[in-house]
Each structure stands twice: as C-alpha cells, then as structure tokens.
A and B are shown apart, each in its own frame.
Chain A
C-alpha cells in the first residue's frame, strides 16, 4: 500500500509547494538539472571563446590559459549533455533527438549543433597537439622500459595521430592555419550552441518570464562571463595544486607528469605564469560582464515599463518572492561585488579569483532565477509555486533532480579533465603547441 501511494507521487510533486490558485497539473517540472544544463553549456562555450581570443585574435597575453581553456572546454563538453540525460523521464530514448529530430522544436537542433561543436573542438585540439602526439609516439616507441601507463598511452597516441606523422615545418604551418580557422569557426558555433539554449527558453510563449527575444543574447553574454570565470578559478586552483605537488613530488596530482614523465615545471615559473594569466583574463571578464548586466537590466526595465498582463504576477515574483535570489545573490553578490573587486586598482591574483568565484555564483543564480523563477508563478497569474531542492534523496528521482545530481554534474568535468590531461597536457609551457 505504502509503495503504491509512493508511486502515485507525480513528477514534480516532491519539490513543489503550491500557493493560492494553481492549475492541478502545474508543478516545477524543470528543476535543478535544467538549471545546470544552460550553466554547463555556458561554461563550455565561454571556455572555448576564451581560448579563441588567443588563437584567432592573437592576444598573446592569453597564450598559456588558452591551451588550458581549450582542453577544459573539451572536458566540459560531455558534461553539458549529462543534465539532460538526468532530467529525461525516458533517458534511454534520448537518442531519438538525434535520430528523429522534429525540426520545429528548438531542442531538436541540439544534436546537430552539439555534434558540430564537438567535432570543431576535437579537431582544434588535434591540430594544436599534433606535434606533441607525433613526438610522444616516437618517444614512447624508443623507450625500452615503458611503465604500465606509458604502454597504455602509446596505442592511444598511435590511434589519435591518425597516421599523420609529418612534423616538418610546412606541415606545422598548415596545422597552425587549421587551428586559426577552426577557432574562428568555433566562436559563432559556440555562440549558437548557447544562443539556442537561450532560444529554448525565450521561445516558450506560454511562459511570461522566459518569452523575450533578448534571451539568447543574454545567455551568450553570461555564458562567456561564466566560462572565463571558471577558467580563471580552475586555472588558479590547478596551478596551486601543481605548485604544491611539484614541491613535494606528489605526481598523482599531476596527471600529465604521471603520464609524460618529468615535464613538471619549476615552481617559480608556475607562479609567474599563474599571476600573469589570471590578471590578464580578468580584464576580458570585465568587458563581457558589462555586456551581460546591461542586457539583463534592460530586460527587466522593459518588462516593468510595458507592464503587460503578466507583470502583476512577475512583479510579485521578482520583487517579493525571489527578491533575495535576484537582487542580493545574483546582482549584488554575483555582479556588483565582483565588478568592484575587479575595478579597484592594484588587482592581485587572489582578488581576481575571489571575484571570479562570485561571478560563477552570480551566473548560477541567474540560471536559477530564469529556470526556477519562470515556474514560480501559475499560468493563471493568480498563484505561485515554490521549488525546494531535494537534499536527501529518498528515491532515484529525488537524487537525479536533487543535490546529488547537481553535484555529480559539477564534479564530472574535473574527473574527465584529470584523465584528458594525461593525453593532452593542458599546462605545457614550451612553445611546441600553437
């Protein structure tokens, strides 16, 4: 009997609290995983744009972080799909989106855009690391006593070299051209990847908060902001870890050193690179932040000024129910404070990192306020719904769409990056790679 009753809990009922007049079938159907989805896609797109700043526009100052951003973007890529799979009621049928896309739906573009983007990033990494791959094949081939990891890496390198073993100057020059072309092509595709995620929300005419043509543009700007911020934060953390590990010879924290042998960089050099890169990158962060905030404020002013039928309900949500989340967490802590931190002269690495962490939080809150906030009011405009994130799961659904699922999505890219870094050392400091 108890099981039967538990089964009758409708999807969404476990975390939705209704107030006043809400239609019987209305629940917060799109919960934390749909917050994570644009957040992760945004990080992918943003990290890629950052790496392209160097590859396309030759911003030499970003050289070191550019290569890291590219590899990290590749590690984030499969994770952008994870929230969708965790969210689907029929995850095994997820492949239908690729196999039988229904092209009037914004989601159906996912397969095509995502695949195109994945191929571009993969190809770019291949060209950037081709010389390294070929050299690794030779190096490992000539080595007499290969360790277990090295014996594993050799066939991997052989396969991903795709048989292109020519590393003459001409060949490397054309590699360079290919990287530049792919990076340039990647920017619009990355923007499209994320712009269409914004379109998924912006085109829902039934939702008064989501429906605005500004949505894709807002999403792109905040995506670049969050992507750059994540690169700064994770670059800083990884560099700290590397410094710590390099001093003590803890090679398990240096997957590339573990895989490639003694390529670890001296601690002093690490520190100067880290400082330089973090500070330079935060300047670009400021530029994109300004654009993102301008658009978001414009959207809100416009809604208040035009004040169509839905405004009464929206105003309740924006200024009363979600006031803390929107004005304190998103704009205050997530935008205004880091803005000040980055603008005050004498920027230190640590301050830039703290600002970036706040920016990451701010963009997360922005996604939250859009996705959850858009479901905080009833279609009748006469009732409200409150979302409670399930913390302790009591079944698979409350795990997937709760704190557990959220943390899995957050940590997955770092695990992928650890192993990816063994194959493509993201912190290579020599001039071998482009």
Chain B
C-alpha cells in the first residue's frame, strides 16, 4: 500500500468510526432512566396561610429519620416581626419544631425578646426547605459527586459516597444542609423523593393543616402549582446567587432573608 493510500484510508476510517461512535452517545443513561421527561418537581409555599404550628417540621423529622432532639432539621419555619419603626426581629427556635406558642422571640445568646404589641406593624411566618435549585451550588462543589441532581430536578445526597467534607454545606446559600448526627454525612430535604416518585405527597405538605405547602410538576400546565407559579405573583429566595431555586413563595416580603 502506498503511503498516500494509507493516509487516505486512515482518514476515511477515522471519519467513519467517529460518526458511528458519536451515535452511541445519542442515548445517555440519564435519558434512559428518566421515567418521565415531562417532569420537573417544584414547590409552592403560601406564606399567608402559614400559622407557625410546626406540624411540617415534626412530620419531616419523623418521616425522614432526623433525630427529634437534634438541633438540625430539613425544613423549618421562621417568624418575622416587623416593627413600626422599620426594625425587623426574627427567630426560629429549634426550627419551629414545637410551633410558636409564645410571643417571646428567641434571640439565642442575647436571650428572649418581647416586642410590645403596639410597636408591631406586621408579623408572619415563612416556611423554608431545600430549594432544589436548577443550578445547585452544592452539586457544583461536591468533590466526589456524592450530591447529584436527578433528571426530574431533585437534588439528592448519596449517603454511601459522601466523605463529609462540608463543602456543600458551605456552598449552599440557603443553609438547608447539615451533617446528619447519626449517619455522619451531609443531609438535606429530598422533597420526600421516596414518596413523590410513587405518586405520594411530601410529609410536610401532607401534615400542613392549612395547605401552605404544595408540591407539583412545573412542566404540567394543568398542575395547580405550575398554574400558580405561572399566573400569580410569586417570588423566590436569594436569586442573586444565580442558583435558580424551585421553591416559590406567595407573599414574600423584602424583609425575608
């Protein structure tokens, strides 16, 4: 074979092979495993309906085996008291696990604070949970890929692979992550993936007596959550971080952090 022919044949072979090899790439495992590509989980919180009873926190802890006495929680409810002079006082004792039963605001080291009622302009509760961001900072910073995003948009932690470095906890702008006190790995809200992927509701949404919490499919135009997100004025938390959160809030004040 002449050198020219050899080079020619090689070029043809490489070109042909690369086409067929790239065809193999068309089917990725992600697509195969995504049961329904028309599914993207989203969450809706109606702050007007929340009364701060803490049932959601209790239900979450029980459902997801987060030790009841441990001072960490996958979901929590914050209390905001806005005074007439513009000052804002907030608290969240034990993540509101026991509900807000007193008017005293827990300021941690600074002790309890009572704001006289005639000084209060407005007060409300804000439930919080993992935002299951579209571009999650935690997934980006995990050094071993133990935190990952499912095809339907839920961010999960692989407990058998997490090395416990805490980088994801540092990277999350919402403070939803913590070290599980028993498993000793990073932990956070999963949108109750084990329930919703079987057609169930999240534990917190089910426990909420006032329907302040709802989970839904943002890609289904008939889904009540998707419709609200589309048709009503909703907000998200800390969008300045560019994480594109998927938990939407009705009645979100500028004071909410």
Report the separation of the CA atoms of residues A75 and B241 in the bound assembly, to the nearest whole angstrom. 41
Residues of A within 8 Å of B92, CB to CB, are 21, 23-24
Q: A89-B163, A96-B144, A96-B163 are in contact. Are A25 and B177 (CB under 8 A)?
A: yes
Tell me if A's interface is mostly helix, strand, loop or mixed.
Answer: loop
Q: Bits for B84-125, please: 1 = Cβ < 8 Å to A, else 0.
A: 000011111011000000000001111000000000000000
CB-CB nearest in chain B for A27? B178
Q: A29-B179, A94-B163, A204-B171 are in contact. Are A105 and B90 (CB under 8 A)?
A: no
- Interface segment out of the listed A5-13, A259-267, A278-286, A426-434: A5-13
For the complex, is B181 an interface residue (Cβ under 8 Å from A)?
Answer: yes
Report the separation of the CA atoms of residues A204 and B162 in the bound assembly, to the nearest whole angstrom. 19
Report the separation of the CA atoms of residues A23 and B169 in the bound assembly, to the nearest whole angstrom. 13
CB distance from A15 to the nearest CB of B (A): 14
Taking a contact as CB atoms under 8 Å apart, the answer to whether A206 and B172 are in contact is yes
Residues of B within 8 Å of A379, CB to CB, are 173-175, 257
For the complex, is A272 an interface residue (Cβ under 8 Å from B)?
Answer: no
For the complex, is B202 an interface residue (Cβ under 8 Å from A)?
Answer: no
Report the separation of the CA atoms of residues A9 and B184 in the bound assembly, to the nearest whole angstrom. 12
For the complex, is B214 an interface residue (Cβ under 8 Å from A)?
Answer: no
Q: Bits for A59-99, please: 1 = Cβ < 8 Å to B, else 0.
A: 00000000000000000000000001001111001101100
Question: Which residues between 135 and 182 of chain A lie within 8 Å of chain B, taking CB atoms?
Answer: none
Report the separation of the CA atoms of residues A87 and B137 in the bound assembly, to the nearest whole angstrom. 21
For the complex, is B45 an interface residue (Cβ under 8 Å from A)?
Answer: no
Report the separation of the CA atoms of residues A105 and B94 in the bound assembly, to the nearest whole angstrom. 32
Residues of A within 8 Å of B173, CB to CB, are 205-206, 379
Residues of B within 8 Å of A96, CB to CB, are 143-144, 146, 161, 163
Residues of B within 8 Å of A7, CB to CB, are 67, 181-182
CB distance from B186 to the nearest CB of A (A): 8
Residues of B within 8 Å of A206, CB to CB, are 137, 170-173, 241
Residues of A within 8 Å of B143, CB to CB, are 96-97, 101-102, 105-108, 110
CB-CB nearest in chain A for B145? A102
- Interface segment out of the listed A231-239, A248-256, A380-388, A404-412: A380-388
Taking a contact as CB atoms under 8 Å apart, the answer to whether A24 and B94 are in contact is yes
Report the separation of the CA atoms of residues A294 and B56 in the bound assembly, to the nearest whole angstrom. 51
Contact of B140 among A5, A25, A104 (CB under 8 A): A104
For the complex, is B235 an interface residue (Cβ under 8 Å from A)?
Answer: no
Number of A residues near B (Cβ < 8 Å) is 52
Contact of A105 among B167, B172, B241 (CB under 8 A): B167
CB distance from B171 to the nearest CB of A (A): 6
Q: A10-B71, A382-B90 are in contact. Are A18 and B109 (CB under 8 A)?
A: yes
For the complex, is A17 an interface residue (Cβ under 8 Å from B)?
Answer: yes
For the complex, is A100 an interface residue (Cβ under 8 Å from B)?
Answer: yes
Report the separation of the CA atoms of residues A90 and B143 in the bound assembly, to the nearest whole angstrom. 13
Taking a contact as CB atoms under 8 Å apart, the answer to whether A90 and B162 are in contact is yes
Report the separation of the CA atoms of residues A22 and B141 in the bound assembly, to the nearest whole angstrom. 23
For the complex, is A207 an interface residue (Cβ under 8 Å from B)?
Answer: yes
Q: Bits for A363-379, please: 1 = Cβ < 8 Å to B, else 0.
A: 00000000000000011
Report the separation of the CA atoms of residues A105 and B72 in the bound assembly, to the nearest whole angstrom. 25
Residues of B within 8 Å of A97, CB to CB, are 143-144, 163
Residues of A within 8 Å of B137, CB to CB, are 205-206
Residues of A within 8 Å of B179, CB to CB, are 10-12, 29, 89
Contact of B181 among A10, A101, A378, A381 (CB under 8 A): A10
Contact of A5 among B69, B108, B184 (CB under 8 A): B69
Taking a contact as CB atoms under 8 Å apart, the answer to whether A93 and B257 are in contact is no
Taking a contact as CB atoms under 8 Å apart, the answer to whether B109 and A17 are in contact is yes
CB distance from A324 to the nearest CB of B (A): 18
Taking a contact as CB atoms under 8 Å apart, the answer to whether A107 and B178 are in contact is no
CB distance from B123 to the nearest CB of A (A): 14
Residues of A within 8 Å of B177, CB to CB, are 25
CB-CB nearest in chain A for B90? A21
For the complex, is A419 an interface residue (Cβ under 8 Å from B)?
Answer: no
Report the separation of the CA atoms of residues A11 and B179 in the bound assembly, to the nearest whole angstrom. 6
Taking a contact as CB atoms under 8 Å apart, the answer to whether A25 and B167 are in contact is no
Q: Bits for B68-83, please: 1 = Cβ < 8 Å to A, else 0.
A: 0111110010000000
Question: Which are the 3 A-B pairs with shortest beta-carbon distances?
Answer: A89-B164, A107-B143, A102-B145
A-B contact pairs, 14 of them (CB 8 A): A11-B184, A17-B109, A21-B108, A22-B108, A25-B72, A25-B169, A25-B178, A89-B163, A90-B185, A100-B145, A101-B143, A205-B242, A379-B174, A382-B90
